[in-house]
Copies of this chain bind each other. A is one copy, B any other.
């Protein structure tokens, strides 16, 4: 284990902060999420790494979420989707197919994102909220499902 990438180091640090080890099972999960085109479900993750036990995958995904390494997306579909935390990648949003449940990443123009942030801070303050983050989801039907 020599050339540990920047990302791997960051993940390792976060796990260490939470008294968690970066085990092979957890590495497999991170690898799966890195390889994926976008957020994926647990069944999809297990498909990529058939050696993972379902319960351990769920458990590790939760632990990784708690350590700030993974983000869990909950939409209407049957399964939650998982992706690497934004602090390890970059701020983005999602395009969700209402037909097949597929989720794809999208990025807004930086200026627009700034405008939104300002707007949200103001709105939240008016309601007595302390905002932590925001999500923007665009729903629609993907090309595959449109036919």
Contacts and interface: CB of A to CB of B under 8 A. Distances in A.
Interface of A: 72, 74-76, 95, 97-98, 104, 106, 108-109, 112, 115-116, 119-120, 123-124, 127-143, 146
Given A74-B74, A135-B139, 19 more contacts: A72-B76, A95-B129, A98-B132, A104-B127, A104-B129, A112-B115, A116-B136, A124-B138, A127-B143, A128-B142, A128-B143, A128-B146, A129-B138, A131-B139, A132-B141, A134-B137, A135-B135, A135-B137, A137-B137
B136 A124 contact: no
26 contacts: A74-B76, A95-B124, A95-B127, A95-B129, A97-B129, A104-B127, A104-B129, A108-B119, A109-B119, A112-B116, A115-B115, A120-B138, A123-B138, A124-B140, A127-B143, A128-B143, A128-B146, A129-B141, A129-B142, A130-B140, A130-B141, A132-B139, A133-B139, A134-B136, A134-B138, A136-B137
Contacts of A136: 116, 134-137
Nearest to A107: B123
Contacts of A130: 140-141, 146
Identify the 3 closest CB pairs spanning chains A and B, nearest first.
A128-B143, A131-B140, A129-B140
Contacts of A140: 124, 129-132
Contacts of A137: 134-137
